[in-house]
Structure 1
Amino acid sequence: MTLATKGHLLPAVSALSAAVFLLGASIEDAEATTLRLATDSGTKGSPAGDALETWGQLIEEKSNGEIDVKVYYQNELGGQQEVFDLLVAGGVDMMLNWPMTSYDKRIGVIYTPYMTLSWEEAMEAYRPGGWVNELLGDIYADIGLKFFGPWPEGFNGVASRGKYALTVEDAGDLAVRTMTVFPAPQTMQALGYQTAALDWGEVYTALQTGVVDGEAGNVIYWPYEYFSDLLDYYVHTKHFFMTGILTMNMGSYESLDEAHQQAVREAAIEVMDQQFVAAREQDEHYIAKAQEDGMEYFELSDERLAEFARRAREQVWPQMDEELGSEIMDVIRANATSL
């Protein structure tokens, strides 16, 4: 498999190769307290890459240099699933990632379509103490991960080439890439699209070869920055509120003394707080920038968004009852935006 970044193909590193590499690093750094920090999406210099670098620097500062943080950006240790596997196994200590549901389908709560319809509601739900935040913390603990909090980006949409859809009927002519997690494909199918669930690293090639007509998993930054040479339109369907997650292998966390745990935790909270302030402005900046560079942008009316939301809730939420459990879905129904 090959991975694509801004149109350049990079060789994928297998999980086994990464594990061997990390084992060698652990021997080399045996005398130091070394933590390995990775992301599954975001090169050096990207917003996610900058957040990763900041988190590492803050940990080193707050520990008075007693912790050394080694940072690994997108593709350096493998694809999305491979790096998440390393995190769960302890080969990677900390991660900013976009949640994978392979270990617990309940993580898919973060991809519940149309839970919130405004920035204000979304930020309140995801903040520490917010109802979505509380749900995620419990779920992550059950798979051996320390949950620090979300790294919000904003509402996602559909970027496409040659044609676009503003209605469910028009969407039937478009095949779009979705994330490989439940219920991403199911959500886009409910909105009328044909779908192909692909790892992030496979998207450029799929667009280039015509396997898909568009990408339906991200805020505008990602398709604009990575695929602007291939995509013409962005329709802000707002089906998911996208957020990365700051987390740590529980064994790695508990192996630290109390002062070092505090340094890691405080650094994560600082990075999270910075993004809560910056996220909306960052998203609006890239919406404007994409348009300046020739991408046509469509903001849907409140009536059309409500129509999409009703359709997705009617078709996808019952499936989520089966996959995530009615207890979680009852919390979502009680707190989601009223239509």
Structure 2
Amino acid sequence: MLKMKNIHVTLKTLLASAVATACLMSTSAYALTLKLATDSGTQGSPAGDALKKWGELIEQKSNGEIKTKVFYQNELGGQQEVFDLHVAGDVDLMLNWPMTSYDKRIGVIYTPYMTMSWDEALNAYSPGGWVNNMLGGIYSDIGLKFFGPWPEGFNGVGSRGKYALNIADADGLKVRTMTVFPAPQTMQALGYQTAAIDWGEVYTALQTGVVDGEAGNVIYWDYEYFRDSLDYYVQTKHFFMTGILSGNQETWEGMSEEEQKIVSDAAIEIMNDQFKAAKQQDDHYIAKAQEAGMKYFEPNEAQIREFAKAAREKVWPQMDKEVGPEIMDTIRKNASPL
């Protein structure tokens, strides 16, 4: 009888253990795993490092209860394809240079000559800044959670054989622009011929002579990827370039408040790091490009004003139709004076 009782106890113990194991397996199986991606930036690049750190911070702050998988440039497709995955929820978190295919109002981030100095730009894009406040509502409307900007700096035109410090000299130069409005329209206003080309195809376009230059980025990208193809870089400052840290809204709403805080706090840390580092980082790559033989030009105040005046006169009225007069009224009210 004692033996039977012991067997009964042992079976109960084994059953309890099996149930506990099953529960643990179930919890593990349903542990939150977030997919992070960037549309621009390989592993080891500033953008790639920022994305990697975002994932690491999330895992650290959650004590490993949230897992992350990081995907770098072109690992999930081109810029538009990855942004599509983000909106669809197949990519949970993203550091991206946003596409306007879902809402042309996202193009406000590419408003030419909206800000004219580092101080003005960083104030506008910082949490609570007037550009930052505009972007939050726009992102929400397309199903994305806006965490904030990841600033890079003022962009310019990398070219070979010829460069332009004014509108007249740009005649005959054909440059690659981003495929989003109003990137081609801006460069046309500055006197260039344009070809809107996805980032992943720029190298081939330069090598085959489809374009004479690249007009979409801060100098880091032209130095890192195309320094063997480009002779000059003119910092025209037509856009203040910034990536955006965002999350899929459905993923966000499916998280607990604690999980949301972990992801948001990690994003804020990444942003704060970049706000401190952006100017120094840009200066570093300006020097590196010159060391590599690329000739760097910074237009003087009168030349920048010529570019800015032309872009505002020709592009801003088009933006009234695309992003709406209400948004453009806010931009006109807050933009740097000429």
Query: Does TM-score exceed 0.5, indicating one fold?
Result: yes
Greater fraction of residues in strand: 1
Give the equivalent residue in structure 2 for 1:171. 170
What secondary structure sits across from 1:125 in the alignment? Answer: helix
Give the equivalent residue in structure 2 for 1:22. none
Is 1:38 matched up with 2:25?
A: no
Percent identity over the alignment? 75
Q: Which amino acid aligns with 1:152?
A: P
Deviations, residues 163-203 of structure 1 (Å, cap 9, x unaligned): 11111111011000000000000000000000000000010
Give the equivalent residue in structure 2 for 1:77. 76
Q: Which amino acid aligns with 1:91?
A: D
Work out the CA distance in 1 between the residues paired with 2:75 and 2:31.
Answer: 23
Work out the CA distance in 2 between the residues paired with 1:155 and 1:300.
Answer: 12
Work out the CA distance in 1 between the residues paired with 2:253 and 2:219.
Answer: 37
Structure 2 residue ranges without an equivalent (≥5) = 1-27
Work out the CA distance in 2 between the residues paired with 1:144 and 1:250.
Answer: 5
Give the equivalent residue in structure 1 for 2:23. none
Number of residue pairs aligned between Structure 1 and Structure 2: 311
Work out the CA distance in 2 between the residues paired with 1:160 and 1:304.
Answer: 18
Is 1:49 matched up with 2:17?
A: no
Work out the CA distance in 2 between the residues paired with 1:49 and 1:183.
Answer: 26
Superposition pairs of residues 76-225 of structure 1, within 5 angstroms: 76-225=75-224
Work out the CA distance in 2 between the residues paired with 1:116 and 1:146.
Answer: 25
Work out the CA distance in 2 between the residues paired with 1:263 and 1:116.
Answer: 32
Q: Which amino acid aligns with 1:218?
A: N
Give the equivalent residue in structure 1 for 2:276. 277
Q: Does the aligned pair in 1 maintain the 2:79–2:198 contact within 8 Å?
A: yes
Work out the CA distance in 2 between the residues paired with 1:42 and 1:117.
Answer: 26
Deviations, residues 238-281 of structure 1 (Å, cap 9, x unaligned): 00000000000000011111111000000000000000000000
Give the equivalent residue in structure 1 for 2:8. none
Work out the CA distance in 2 between the residues paired with 1:137 and 1:302.
Answer: 32
Is 1:67 matched up with 2:66?
A: yes
Deviations, residues 206-256 of structure 1 (Å, cap 9, x unaligned): 000000000000000001000111111000100000000000000001111
Alpha-carbon deviation of 1:31? 2.8
Is 1:263 matched up with 2:262?
A: yes
Q: TM-score, normalised by structure 2?
A: 0.91
Deviations, residues 304-328 of structure 1 (Å, cap 9, x unaligned): 1011101100000000000000000
Q: TM-score, normalised by structure 1?
A: 0.91
Greater Rg by CA: 2
Which aligned runs of 4 or more in structure 1 are off by greater than 3 angstroms? none
What secondary structure sits across from 1:71 in the alignment? Answer: strand
Q: Does the aligned pair in 1 maintain the 2:166–2:306 contact within 8 Å?
A: no
Work out the CA distance in 1 between the residues paired with 2:231 and 2:47.
Answer: 24
Alpha-carbon deviation of 1:125? 0.1
Give the equivalent residue in structure 1 for 2:232. 233
What secondary structure sits across from 1:218 in the alignment? Answer: coil
Structure 1 residue ranges without an equivalent (≥5) = 1-28
Deviations, residues 136-188 of structure 1 (Å, cap 9, x unaligned): 00000000100000000000000001111111111011000000000000000
What secondary structure sits across from 2:327 in the alignment? Answer: helix
Deviations, residues 38-88 of structure 1 (Å, cap 9, x unaligned): 000000000000000100000001111110000000000000000000000
